[in-house]
């Protein structure tokens, strides 16, 4: 018997959740879903449709237009992971900019947005065999997930990782702006009223401040394999 499980990975921004989740899904033959990409896609929609003016989000209009916002993932064979599409357009690159990062946490406080995205995320995980990363996966989206991980690292380490990522992509960013964004998002994500970022009681905490990517992956893979064995 090969009973598939649900793996929920939550944690602070730039803790390497998506890197480890992608690799884990590939190794296990599971589907990977980046829930943050969905909040980022809604944010990009708001930016493109002038629903953000002078740093303020026009919540009422965004909520009104929610039904017309379609988010899909399509697997890219060359890249080995699924890219995100907003109303039929590949927006994988556009959603990762610092500009989108600067508004995404505000957008993610809107309950109507969360409701719609959580419903879609639960559909993706209906048949198990899924690795999903985000902020509320183990607490709200899949409270019954068999394996829950919670990733942390110091804000400075995380900002440094994100800064290098953006520079490598060719984005001209300033380290202090990235650090400020990481800290601001931590604050908004942990203090919002709806589904704040918090560790589920049954999650395993991993502080990867001083862990290499391979070391972290091997550790997480072991946890997943042990859990899958237990569930079979």
- Which residues here bind ligand CDP, judged by CB under 6 A? 13-14, 18, 35-36, 39-40, 104-105, 108, 134-137, 185, 189
From CA 123, how far away is CA 28, in angstroms rounded? 20
For the bound state, the minimum distance from the C-beta of residue 87 to ligand CDP, rounded and expressed in Å, comes to: 19
Distance of CA 181 to the CA centre of its chain: 16
**Smallest gap, in angstroms, from Cβ of residue 93 to ligand CDP?**
13
Contact (Cβ atoms closer than 8 angstroms) between residue 224 and residue 145: no
Structural tokens at position 59? 């919540």
Question: Which is closer to ligand CDP, CB of 66 or CB of 228?
Answer: 66
Strand partners, 207: 152
Of 177 and 228, nearer to ligand CDP (C-beta) is 177
Instruction: Round to whole Å and give the CA distance between 77 and 80.
Output: 5
| Least distance CB 22 / ligand CDP (angstroms) | 12
Facing residues of 152 across strands?
A: 207
Shortest distance, CB of residue 49 to ligand CDP, whole angstroms?
Answer: 19
Instruction: Dump strand ranges (E) for 88-203.
Output: 89-90, 130-134, 147-152
Name the residue nearer to ligand CDP (CB basis): 43 or 146.
43
Q: For ligand CDP, give the closer residue by CB, 5 or 35.
A: 35
């Amino acid at each position: 018997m090969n009973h598939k499980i649900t793996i929920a990975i939550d944690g602070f921004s730039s803790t390497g959740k998506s890197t480890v989740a992608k690799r884990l899904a590939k190794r296990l033959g599971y589907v990977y879903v980046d829930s943050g990409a969905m909040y980022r896609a809604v944010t990009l929609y708001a930016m493109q449709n002038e629903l953000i003016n002078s740093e303020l989000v026009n919540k009422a209009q965004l909520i009104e237009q929610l039904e017309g916002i379609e988010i899909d993932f399509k697997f890219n064979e060359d890249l080995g992971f699924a890219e995100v599409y907003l109303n039929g357009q590949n927006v994988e690159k556009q959603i990762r900019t610092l500009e989108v990062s600067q508004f995404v946490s505000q957008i993610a406080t809107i309950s109507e947005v969360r409701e719609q995205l959580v419903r879609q995320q639960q559909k993706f995980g209906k048949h198990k065999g899924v690795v999903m990363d985000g902020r509320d996966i183990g607490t709200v989206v899949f409270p019954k997930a068999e394996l829950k991980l919670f990733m942390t690292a110091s804000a400075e380490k995380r900002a440094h990782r994100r800064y290098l990522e953006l520079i490598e992509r060719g984005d001209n960013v300033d380290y202090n702006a990235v650090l400020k964004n990481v800290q601001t998002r931590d604050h908004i994500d942990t203090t919002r009223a709806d589904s704040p970022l918090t560790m589920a009681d049954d999650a395993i905490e991993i502080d990867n401040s001083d862990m290499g990517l391979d070391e972290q992956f091997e550790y997480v893979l072991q946890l997943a394999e042990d859990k899958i064995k237990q569930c079979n």
